[in-house]
Structure 1
Amino acid sequence: MTSPASAPTPLPDDDPARELLVAEPESPDVAHIALAGNIYSILVTGRQTAGRYCLIDMQVPAGGGPPPHRHDFEEMFTLLEGEIDFIFRGETRRVAAGSTVNIPANAPHHFRNNSGRPARMLCMCTPAGQEEYFALCGDPVDSPNSPPPHLSDEQQDQRRRTAADLAPRFATELLPADGK
């Protein structure tokens, strides 16, 4: 990409193989994944955007949220409903519906729904790939309103091991509980 002051470069030709995409959370084509106590609906995949980004609709129940982590890609959240505490480099900031949060690549972070009510947000990752990681680590469910499956302690430990084992493949590092 060029800055406004640099000489313009011609745009590439349109790719007619790429089509308009309308993503609807209840569509049978949308995968719904239970992960870390949340339900993630993969609205737009990297396959659909030539790897440029993915878009995930996140249902986050009270108490939900992932463990501390960091990754080598940008992540942006737009809160649609409720409130979420974002913990960014160890500092907590409560964010309400209507706000957008951008997490820079490689910064330690996580989020937690401490509001006592469900929350919903859209998450865009650029470039894409996070949706593939979620699909490999989580459990498929039927809809965005499905309850997460009840997992035994052994099953939960297995999901954590899978997430840790796959993290490097997806430019992700899981961090200790203190987030450092």
Structure 2
Amino acid sequence: MTTTKKEITEPIHSTPNDSNTYHFLDEKVTILVSGEDTNGKYAVLNSVKPAKQGPPLHRHEIEEETFLVKRGQMTFYVDDKVIEAKEGDVVVAPRGSKHTFITGPEGAEFNIIARPAGFDGFVKALGTLVPANAPLPQVGPPTEEQIIGLVNASKPFGITYPEIEKAMSEKQ
């Protein structure tokens, strides 16, 4: 069987709308360019995240992530490096690197370019579709059950949480 891959031959233009915007954990994420648009080559997402928040330390086995800070400040931890980023800065977390970030005191807005695509599918699978003008989700600290659910839901997308998974295995 021969598979034909679609090449990008036309410009792509996208804006936030009610069919590409999600509440995803504590963020509002808009999938501006999906893997379906690029034949899986990359995805572009816009994220708005509240103050002093960030994901657990994690690793993407499939994607490299490029972050472009649009508003606010963020502190990135990529393997053994600490990177203070401000508006206009770009930070790249290579595929396989252990990384996380914390937003500054005003929160942050940033773009994520995931290459190859796949992270967009993760957002669609775990997120809840919301109107483009929706405020940030109101969530509290995650429960142990929610953390376990996140770890398990992440596996099909090649995302792992080394410290959480180690703690979980030690509890068994």
TM-score (norm 1): 0.77
Give the one of 40, 58, 76 matched to 1:86: 76
Shift of 1:110: 0.5
Is it true that 1:106 corresponds to 2:93 in the alignment? no
Change (3 A) 1:71 1:176: same
SS of the residue aligned with 1:142? coil
In 2: Cα distance, 1:134 partner to 1:87 partner: 22
Is it true that 1:29 corresponds to 2:2 in the alignment? no
Give the one of 140, 149, 161 matched to 1:174: 161
The residue aligned with 2:122 is: 133
C-alpha distance after superposition, 1:56-107 (max 9, x if no partner)? 1010210221110011221101111111000111432210011111111101
The residue aligned with 1:146 is: 135
SS of the residue aligned with 2:70? strand
Count of paired positions: 159
Change (3 A) 1:144 1:130: farther
C-alpha distance after superposition, 1:137-167 (max 9, x if no partner)? 23333236522044696xx545433321122
SS of the residue aligned with 1:132? helix
In 2: Cα distance, 1:136 partner to 1:46 partner: 14
In 1: Cα distance, 2:54 partner to 2:87 partner: 16
User: What amino acid is aligned across from residue 117 of structure 1 in structure 2?
Assistant: E
Kept after mapping to 1: 8 A contact 2:48/2:136: no
Identity %: 23
The runs of 5 or more residues in structure 2 that have no matched partner are: 1-5, 167-172
Give the one of 47, 55, 58 matched to 1:66: 55
Q: Which contiguous aligned blocks of 4+ residues in structure 1 show a shift greater than 3 angstroms?
A: 149-153, 156-159
SS of the residue aligned with 2:95? coil
In 2: Cα distance, 1:93 partner to 1:152 partner: 25
SS of the residue aligned with 2:44? strand
Shift of 1:132: 0.9
Q: Whose Rg is larger?
A: 1
User: What amino acid is aligned across from residue 136 of structure 1 in structure 2?
Assistant: A
In 1: Cα distance, 2:152 partner to 2:47 partner: 23
The runs of 5 or more residues in structure 1 that have no matched partner are: 1-13
Change (3 A) 1:150 1:78: closer
